[in-house]
Amino acid sequence: MDSAIEIKDPNLLLHIHNIRTVLKTRSGEVTPVDGVEVRIPYKKTVGLVGESGCGKSMTAMSVMGLLPRGGRVVEGEILLEGEDLLIKTDVERRDISGNNISMIFQEPMTSLNPVMTVGKQVMEAITLHQNVSKDEARNRVIDIFRAVGIPEPEKRFKAYPHQLSGGLRQRVMIGMAMVCRPNLLIADEPTTALDVTIEAQILHLMRKLQQEEGTSILMITHNLGVVAEICDSVYVMYAGKVVEHSDVFELFDNPSHPYTLGLLASMPSTDSSKRLYNIPGSVPTLKNLPDGCRFCDRCERAFDRCSKEQPPLYDIGNGHLVRCFLFDKEGRA
């Protein structure tokens, strides 16, 4: 694993290096993640944004080792503090991930066990990975419930998931994810099912926990508002590839990929009522990808080359990467 040593960057907690994930479906093999590179520095929040089917969740599942049956990472490396998770055995990987990486999901109702009290479930997360007494674990659960803003934590300890509101359930999930003090929290659409006032509370809570615990966060979302609210840097994905990456301020100041521009222009904003831009057409299916740039069928600025060749990522300055031939200084027709 020479390359692992070569690309090891001491500032990175997690380096998803050029991974390709394939899935077996009834109608053949598809590649939902095709050469994706994501760098997550210590104590930072990194956004992975795109529409359904762009591969953002599959990227997260590749990191977690939770791919559906028939799914596997066939290329690349997933380096956690420089160690490639993909060459570990299942048992080794469970140990490493269990203590270092936690994940929260979109739907807190379906990811909590309905017949177990929420306190017990969070306790289980502690006792599975750490060697502590029951009393100690119980106290830590109540502490974490208090930290994530659950009112009356002693009482809620004994509540079942259905007795809690959506916002409280998501707080339980965050508590469960944070209780082992992970280095990395992967949040897959954590606020999508919540009301805006609750969403604002949860985002605030995540930011607070990050400041206090120094956790890195990989925030997976379709909502550019959430990205602007909480992320330090952003990766925009489209049809299995990263199409744009930069620092969050740069991305919103200077969005450059036609897809990112289209996404921003099609978002209804509370600041203006002007007509929305709409990106024509819809996302190509993975079985039916264009030969050239994957966005070229929907792109108003596409030219000849776009339908023939796949564009690489061009660096347009300060680490701002754009996968578009419009930024090829030499080769523009």
Partner 1 sequence: MNDGINKDVLVQAKGLVKQFKDKGAVVHAVSNVDLTIYRGETLCLVGESGCGKSTLGRLLLRLIEPTAGTVMFEGKDITAMSHEELRNVRKRMQLIFQDPYASLDPRMSVARIIGEPLRIHKVGSPKEQEQKIEKLMQDVGIPLEYKSRFPHQFSGGQRQRIGIARALALNPELVVCDEPVSALDVSIQAQILNLLYDLQHQYKLTYLFITHDLGVVRYIATRVCVMFLGKICEISNTEDIFCHPRHPYTRFLLSSTPKPDPKQRKEDKDLLQGEVPSPIDPPSGCRFRKRCPYAKPICSEKEPPLIEEQGRQFACHFPL
Distance CA 333, CA 329 (A): 10
Contacts of residue 328, Cβ cutoff 8 Å, sequence gap at least 6: 311, 314
Distance CA 314, CA 305 (A): 15
- Applying the rule CB under 8 A, the residues between 251 and 310 that interact with partner 1 are 252, 262-264, 266-279, 282-283
Distance CA 54, CA 280 (A): 17
Q: Does 160 bind partner 1 (CB under 8 A)?
A: no
* Token reading at 240: 């299995």
- Applying the rule CB under 8 A, the residues between 26 and 55 that interact with partner 1 are 51-52
Q: Which stretch binds partner 1 (CB under 8 A): 59-67, 209-217, 247-255, 305-313?
A: 247-255
Least Å distance, CB 189 to partner 1, is 12
**CB-based contact 148:171 (threshold 8 Å):** yes
Least Å distance, CB 261 to partner 1, is 11
Give 164 or 316: the residue with its C-beta nearer to partner 1. Answer: 164
Amino acid at 216: S
3-state secondary structure of 190: coil
Least Å distance, CB 6 to partner 1, is 33
Give 27 or 133: the residue with its C-beta nearer to partner 1. Answer: 27
Q: Which stretch binds partner 1 (CB under 8 A): 35-43, 93-101, 221-229, 306-314?
A: 221-229
- Applying the rule CB under 8 A, the residues between 181 and 220 that interact with partner 1 are 195-201, 203-204
Contacts of residue 253, Cβ cutoff 8 Å, sequence gap at least 6: none
Give 58 or 168: the residue with its C-beta nearer to partner 1. Answer: 168
3-state secondary structure of 143: helix
H or E stretch including 35? strand 28-41
Contacts of residue 266, Cβ cutoff 8 Å, sequence gap at least 6: 276, 277, 278, 279
Least Å distance, CB 153 to partner 1, is 15
Say which DSSP state 230 is in.
H
Give 100 or 221: the residue with its C-beta nearer to partner 1. Answer: 221
Q: Does 131 bind partner 1 (CB under 8 A)?
A: no
Least Å distance, CB 287 to partner 1, is 14
Radius of gyration of the CA atoms of the chain, in A: 21
Q: Which stretch binds partner 1 (CB under 8 A): 115-123, 139-147, 209-217, 245-253?
A: 245-253
Give 86 or 168: the residue with its C-beta nearer to partner 1. Answer: 168
Angle 134-147/166-178 helices, nearest 10 degrees?
130
Q: Does 159 bind partner 1 (CB under 8 A)?
A: no
User: Which stretches of the chain bind partner 1, using CB under 8 A?
Assistant: 51-52, 165-168, 195-201, 203-204, 222-229, 231, 248-249, 252, 262-264, 266-279, 282-283
